[in-house]
Amino acid sequence: MLTVRAASWYVVCSIVLLTVVFALAAAGGGTDRAREHGVRHIAFDTTPVRGEPRALELDRAGFTYSCMECHRDLKVPADRANLEAEHCTIVFRHGTDMSCQVCHYPDNRDAYVDRECRQIPSTNSVELCAKCHNIEYRDWKANIHGRVNGYWDPARGPQTRLLCVQCHDPHAPAFQPMQPLPPPRKTRTPSSKKRPPHE
Ligand code: HEC
Ligand code: HEC
Ligand code: HEC
Ligand code: HEC
């Protein structure tokens, strides 16, 4: 009686183990195989160049401040040439002679500003970019510019579209050069070896 019970226990254990092994193989198998063929990891990395969207906040010495924690009472010159203290580390290379306040709402730094001087919530940075880059915005909405992940057919599953700021730094938006990937390896099938060389 005991041995039968032990045997069925072994069977159950090995089924569970096999399921785990197959699940792991299915998840990483393709990638591992491609890696064996010398394709570098960067080829499979779908992380956007600037990662997840960042909140409009300031990190200082381990603390996170909302913009208005300082700017509520702070009167600062509207001229970015005078940035000396808090934000002097910002490298600004965007258009010519653009003021900070064409994007950051002057009286509420926790928001952006649109063309009619109304506030754009900080969660909607795309609308900010769209006010000046209408063509890229149109293309982005049509999935031509940028990147959409997920399902082609929205009825079958979710689609996620990367935001402009996940690829472009708003203060220095030029897209940084990327390392080119190696070309695909030539597949060698027995018949292709026999074929005469191509002229
Ligand atoms: C710790 C205090 C502090 C916080 C928090 C802070 N600022 Fe400032 N900010 C300053 C100071 C001080 C200046 C004056 C210029 C300088 O010397 O850097 C300034 C200047 C600026 C300017 C340029 C001048 C102007 O009025 O246009 C902008 C734009 C600005 N801040 C935006 C922001 C935004 C956006 C945030 C939130 C992400 C923020 N600030 C958070 C302290 C702060
Ligand atoms: C083209 C629009 C635009 C302009 C012009 C602009 N910003 Fe920003 N700024 C943004 C956006 C969008 C963010 C959101 C954070 C992100 O995605 O990196 C941001 C984030 C910030 C932050 C918080 C994050 C950080 O980098 O510390 C500060 C502070 C800031 N801006 C200050 C300034 C100052 C000062 C100027 C002028 C020199 C300026 N910004 C000009 C669009 C702009
Ligand atoms: C107030 C108008 C304005 C806003 C808002 C604005 N831009 Fe720009 N942007 C410009 C101008 C002007 C140029 C330089 C001329 C050009 O390339 O069209 C530029 C250039 C660029 C470039 C090309 C940079 C290069 O050097 O090749 C990119 C990318 C870009 N912007 C992205 C963004 C993104 C992303 C946002 C939103 C966070 C944004 N812009 C918001 C005005 C703006
Ligand atoms: C998945 C990444 C990605 C996203 C998301 C994205 N872009 Fe771009 N963008 C690029 C690349 C790559 C280029 C081309 C850079 C090059 O040719 O040097 C570019 C180029 C640009 C240019 C310069 C065009 C030119 O002719 O020089 C502008 C302006 C721009 N993007 C604005 C935007 C705006 C606005 C959004 C959001 C509505 C956005 N981008 C979203 C990757 C992205």
DSSP state of 59: E
Q: What does the domain layout of the chain look like in residue ranges? A: 6-44, 57-166
Q: Which atom of ligand 1 is nearest to the CA of 67?
A: 37
Q: What does the pLDDT average to over 116-132?
A: 97
Q: What does the pLDDT average to over 62-67?
A: 94
Q: What is the pLDDT of residues 11-55, one digit of tens each?
A: 766 776 666 545 544 444 455 666 666 666 666 777 899 999 999
Q: What residues have CB less than 8 Å from 26, skipping those under 6 apart?
A: none
Distance 90 CA to ligand 4 centre (A): 21
Distance 199 CA to ligand 1 centre (A): 65
Q: Is 68 exposed, middle or buried (0-12, 13-18, 19+ CB in 10 A)?
A: middle
Rounded Cα gap, residues 15 and 13, in angstroms? 5
Q: For ligand 2, pick from 90, 114, 133 the residue to mutate: most ligand atoms within 8 Å of CB.
A: 90
Q: What does the pLDDT average to over 148-159?
A: 89
* Model pTM score: 0.85
Q: What residues have CB less than 8 Å from 65, skipping those under 6 apart?
A: 57, 58, 59
Higher pLDDT, 79 or 102: 102
Higher pLDDT, 129 or 159: 129
Q: What does the pLDDT average to over 152-164?
A: 92
126 lines ligand 4 (CB under 6 A): yes
